[in-house]
């Protein structure tokens, strides 16, 4: 127990003030726990276990979990930044610079989301749309959103580790984060191997070749896309009126 509670560097004391300690807690909760979970849900649970897909389409659990989770991360980040902003400006370190880079990535993600374009499709008010037609703008959005998202999370993990070293956190904190992040990687790899990274387009509209987005390659690495196995061209019209949703 003494070893677990001891700081990682025995030559330095683990002494942080109230503001820094809460800054660390909020950032670890946001970027170390919630953000990667929201990404895993968005990537692997567009089709829920037990869902009769592709007969049952457009499951909203992943979408709500992703944007609500990431919104909480942004809120926690704003509070965490406010707690240390005065001292940050007085003495910048590598941890600080990387932290601002993470916040920049989060800001870019928000802007990309706001300008991702229209949805369209049989369940929207207009059939034509950036997402349904998989326009070049939509493909650019998806590629950028994924690249910046994964990159920001990896950068956030490095920033957390540097912050923990800067604060000379106790051994148990290092072990807890190492175990948690290792579990996330194992879960990610296992779900990827099971083919659960269903293409967003097919998760929403199905596998029918009549849908324009099914006539090209799936955007993104490692996405599972099925051929036209269950639906007919009439499904494009049959799904109209199911409700208006936006992704």
Let me know if residue 182 belongs to a domain: yes
pLDDT attached to residue 167? 92
Instruction: Establish if 209 belongs to a structural domain.
Output: yes
Asked whether residue 163 is domain-assigned, the answer is: yes
Long-range Cβ contact pairs of 181-185 (< 8 A, separation 24 or more): 181/32, 181/36, 181/157, 184/36, 184/37, 184/40
In tens digits, the chain (247 residues) has pLDDT values of: 888 988 888 888 888 889 999 999 999 999 999 999 999 999 999 999 999 998 999 999 999 999 999 999 999 999 999 999 877 666 789 999 999 999 999 999 999 999 999 999 998 899 999 999 999 999 999 999 999 999 999 999 999 999 999 999 999 999 999 999 999 999 999 999 999 999 999 999 999 999 999 988 778 889 988 874 444 434 433 333 333 344 4
* Closest among 34, 145, 13 to 80, alpha carbons compared: 34
Residue 245, in any domain of the structure: no
Helices assigned H by DSSP within the chain: 2-5, 18-27, 35-44, 61-90, 94-114, 130-133, 136-166, 171-193, 200-205, 235-238
- Backbone region of residue 159 per phi and psi (left: phi > 0; alpha: psi in -120 to 50; beta: other values): alpha
Instruction: Enter the pTM of the model.
Output: 0.86
SS3 170: strand
Q: Examine residue 143 and state whether it is found in any structural domain, yes or no.
A: yes
Tokens of 100: 């601002």
Say if 58 falls within a structural domain: yes
Q: Is 214:202 a contact under the CB 8 Å cutoff?
A: yes
| CA angle, 86 then 87 then 90, to 5° | 95
Q: Which residue has the tokens 């920001």?
A: 152
Largest CA distance in the chain: 72
How many separate domains does the chain show? Answer: 1
Supply the pLDDT for residue 86.
76
Give CA–CA dist 29/150, Å, rounded.
17
Question: What pLDDT, on the 0 to 100 scale, is given for residue 89?
Answer: 67
For residues 38 and 70, is the Cβ–Cβ distance under 8 A? yes
- For residue 233, give the CATH number of its domain: 1.20.120
Query: Is there a domain that residue 187 lies in?
Result: yes
Q: Domain of 228?
A: 2-238
Nearest to 209 by CA among 226, 186, 221, 185: 226
Residue 246 lies in a domain: no
């Amino acid at each position: 127990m003494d070893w677990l509670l001891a700081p990682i560097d025995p030559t330095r004391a683990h002494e942080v003030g109230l503001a820094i300690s809460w800054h660390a807690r909020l950032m670890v909760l946001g970027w170390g726990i919630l953000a990667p979970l929201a990404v895993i849900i968005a990537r692997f649970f567009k089709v829920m276990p037990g869902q009769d897909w592709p007969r049952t389409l457009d499951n909203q659990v992943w979408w709500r979990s992703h944007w609500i989770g990431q919104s909480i991360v942004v809120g926690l980040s704003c509070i965490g930044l406010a707690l240390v902003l005065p001292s940050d400006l007085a003495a910048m370190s590598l941890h600080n610079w990387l932290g601002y880079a993470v916040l920049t990535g989060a800001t870019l993600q928000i802007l990309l989301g706001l300008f991702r374009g229209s949805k369209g499709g049989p369940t929207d008010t207009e059939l034509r749309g950036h997402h349904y037609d998989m326009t070049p703008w939509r493909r650019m959005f998806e590629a950028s959103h994924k690249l910046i998202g994964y990159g920001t999370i990896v950068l956030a993990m490095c920033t957390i580790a540097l912050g923990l070293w800067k604060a000379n956190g106790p051994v148990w904190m290092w072990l807890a984060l190492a175990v948690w992040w290792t579990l996330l990687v194992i879960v990610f790899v296992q779900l990827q191997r099971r083919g659960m990274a269903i293409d967003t387009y097919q998760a929403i509209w199905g596998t029918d070749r009549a849908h324009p987005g099914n006539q090209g390659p799936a955007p993104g690495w490692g996405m599972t896309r099925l051929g036209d196995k269950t639906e007919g061209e009439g499904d494009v019209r049959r799904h109209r009126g199911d409700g208006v949703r936006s992704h």
